[in-house]
Structure 1
Amino acid sequence: MNTNQIEGLIGMLLVLGILVLLVLPSLPGIVRDRRADRQIREARAKRESQDGQKSSSRSTVPSTATWYADGRRSKKLVSS
């Protein structure tokens, strides 16, 4: 190997090391999120089996339009 190849190898290893250092802190968070998701799925399945019925797949969270309309309705018009 000549000097240029060694410098290229060192540079590549340095970039790879920096990438590992940037990605490494996110791995515990990913593992924790996956574990929480699994626990939520298991609890939901257990609850559904106890209830004997499945919950609706439709979201109960109001849409953006509903939030906007509620905000508009709650404001009182003041004439000056």
Structure 2
Amino acid sequence: MTGNQIQGLIGMTATLGILVLLVLPSALGILRERRIDRQIRKAQEAHGEKEAQKSSSRSTVPSTATWYAEGRRSKKLVSS
């Protein structure tokens, strides 16, 4: 190998090394996020199975109309 080829090889290796250093943190972050997503999905599925066993057919969350009506009632009570 000549001196020019060695310099080219060193330059290419340095460039690839810098590229790896720049890409590595984001690649590790993506892997970590995917692992966390899997854990959340697994926990939601387990929670959903528990809820399916004990829940009734009616929803316990009040509707928007109920919240609006309660807000209007409380304003009337305060103002009177």
Displacement of 1:16 in angstroms is 0.5
Match of 1:56 in 2: none
Shift of 1:26: 1.7
Q: Which of 1 and 2 has greater Rg? A: 2
Q: What is aligned with 1:13?
A: 13
**SS of match in other structure, 1:24:** helix
Q: TM-score, normalised by structure 1?
A: 0.55
Identity of aligned residues (%): 60
Structure having the higher helix fraction is 2
In the alignment, structure 2 segments of 5+ residues that lack a partner are 54-80
- Following TM superposition, where does structure 1 have runs of at least 4 consecutive aligned residues deviating by more than 3 angstroms? none
Deviations 1:8-54 (A, max 9, x none): 1011101101101101222332232112101111112112211228x
> Which TM-score applies when normalising by structure 2?
0.55
